Amino acid sequence: MARWNTCNLLHLAPDAKRLWQFDAKGGGFVLGREQRVPYAEPVPYKFVAKSWTSLWQPKLNVAWLPAENVFLRVIELPASNADEMVAMVELQLEKLSPIPVAQIVWTMQLFPRVASTEAGAENLQTVVVVIVPRQVVEEYLGKLESDGFQADRLEVALLDQLEAVEAKEDGAWVFPQSIGGQNAALLGWWTGGALRNLSILTLLPAGDAVAELKQQIALITWAGELEGWLTGSVRWHLVADPVVAAEWENALRSAIGESVQVTAPAAPVELAARTAKRAAAGGKASLMPAEFAVRYRQQFIDRLWLRGLFYAGLAYVAGVLIYFACAGVAAYQTTNLEAKVSGMSGSYTNALQLRARYDVLKEREDLKFAALDCWRLLADKLPEGLSIQRFNFADGQTLMLSGTVPAADITKIIDFEKDLRKATLDGRIMFNPQSKTTDQLHWNEHGEADYWSFGVEMLQSAEETK
């Protein structure tokens, strides 16, 4: 039972389809929900269908077989384990089955035995063998499939009705029910602390129903006496609700000439819970044909694959849609940005032109101030008798000077050139004394005056100098 999480039990009652769902709790099954579904409607799919969750929360679907096509046989076998019991029943199927063994499905249920004084009784086990024609089972499964219900097991409610009886004394127990549209009843005999026989009684709707019922009981009684399990008088019990009990109690009293003890039957939900527990325990013998179980299992696996592929396809489509949505948003943002850039392009171009003009004017201003700084230094450093004929301030970095000096004062131009290279303005050195790129001092003698020329390189740019 531990392997099952829920158990659904379907009963095709005369008035409607009844569905019980049990939850596995505390070593048993607890009713979770109960539904009555009209025959014109299918069984609720979400309750009985199996999906991915069934892999870790197993679901057991059980259906009750109609009683009219079920054959019950009671046998006694040596007490043994379950596998040996199944093997022993298989050896007797030819004798037990009313139809060829190849055309049936069968299962069995072990019934407890109370303490008995019979010799060897403690080594015997009561077994109820359930036999159903295979064609009936296949047709019934087809009907369930049309309602959307795929059964894992087929069970018989009669077994649970018998198990619900606490037979503490020898007696005959009558369970009225409708079998094949007839007013019938299942008759179970308990003697010696064990279930001995199961048979069907029929109450005729017309004619001498009491006489017919009396004859049926007499035949069963004679058979029990011949087989040896009926050796004395028994008490009669009627398990039925008040409405049905009123009809059957009068007929039984008239047929057997004795009083009948009426007992309330187990509620359908109680029988369903017993069936769920019994089905969850499982068994080697089952009324479910093997080919149907294999087909249902394969269909379940196929559904899982198809649903997995379907959800994978949905995830892929969702991913593609999200991608295109993001791409659309990005394209929209890009278009807006391009529109803004296009609107700003005119003002941006104008700004660039203004910046270029500003840079030109700024450069001119820097050169002007650099030239003025150089001219100031020349004015401060130029010795007497030394004249400047050419003043050239090129690219804001190089200052070229040339002029004349009396031949007798040639040392003045030499000192002037050295002082100029080391000159400072406002505490800053203006020219690079180590520069190798500028022209060195040159002079040429020409009569009483010498022509000289040299160049100096500013240590800083014109902008920094300013």
pLDDT digits (tens, 9 = 90+) for 359-410: 888 888 877 887 787 888 787 778 887 788 788 777 667 888 888 888 777 7
The single-letter code of the amino acid at 273 is A
Q: Which residues contact 300 (CB under 8 A, 6 or more apart)?
A: 50, 54
Report pLDDT for 436.
Answer: 60
Q: Both ends of the chain: CA-CA distance in Å?
A: 98
Show me where the domains of the chain are located.
309-466
H or E segment at 380?
Answer: helix 290-381
Report pLDDT for 203.
Answer: 86
Q: Which residues contact 210 (CB under 8 A, 6 or more apart)?
A: 251, 254, 255
* Percent over 70 (pLDDT), the chain: 94
Are the beta carbons of 225 and 213 closer than 8 angstroms? no
Are the beta carbons of 54 and 66 closer than 8 angstroms? no
CA-derived radius of gyration, the chain:
57
Are the beta carbons of 412 and 388 closer than 8 angstroms? no
Report pLDDT for 120.
Answer: 53
Q: Is a pLDDT exceeding 50 seen at residue 258?
A: yes
Report pLDDT for 368.
Answer: 81
* Residue 440 vs residue 63, higher pLDDT: 63
d(CA 414, CA 441): 8
- Give the side-chain half-sphere CA count within 13 A for 229: 24
Are the beta carbons of 106 and 133 closer than 8 angstroms? no
The SS3 call for residue 359 is: helix
For strand 442-446 and strand 428-429, is the pairing parallel, antiparallel, or unpaired? unpaired
Q: Residue 135 — very low, low, confident or very high, per pLDDT cuts 50/70/90? A: very high
Task: Tally Cβ neighbours within 10 Å of residue 314.
Answer: 10
pLDDT digits (tens, 9 = 90+) for 158-212: 999 888 887 667 889 999 987 777 888 999 999 888 889 999 988 887 778 889 9
| Mean pLDDT calculated for residue range 65-93 | 90
Task: From 85, 313, 270, 73, select the one nearest 164 (Cα to Cα).
Answer: 270
Report pLDDT for 173.
Answer: 92
| Mean pLDDT calculated for residue range 209-237 | 88
d(CA 147, CA 18): 12
Q: Dihedral of CA 205/209/212/213: which sign?
A: positive
Q: Is a pLDDT exceeding 90 seen at residue 104?
A: yes
| Mean pLDDT calculated for residue range 406-425 | 80
Task: From 89, 100, 164, 161, select the one nearest 129 (Cα to Cα).
Answer: 89
The SS3 call for residue 65 is: coil
In sequence order, the β-bridge partners of residue 128 are 74, 109
pTM of the predicted protein model: 0.68
Q: Residue 134 — very low, low, confident or very high, per pLDDT cuts 50/70/90? A: very high
| Mean pLDDT calculated for residue range 57-67 | 92
d(CA 67, CA 156): 7
Q: Average pLDDT, whole number, for the chain?
A: 85
CA distances from 357 to 24, 178, 189, 352 (A): 90, 111, 122, 9
Residues in the chain: 466
- Give the side-chain half-sphere CA count within 13 A for 402: 9
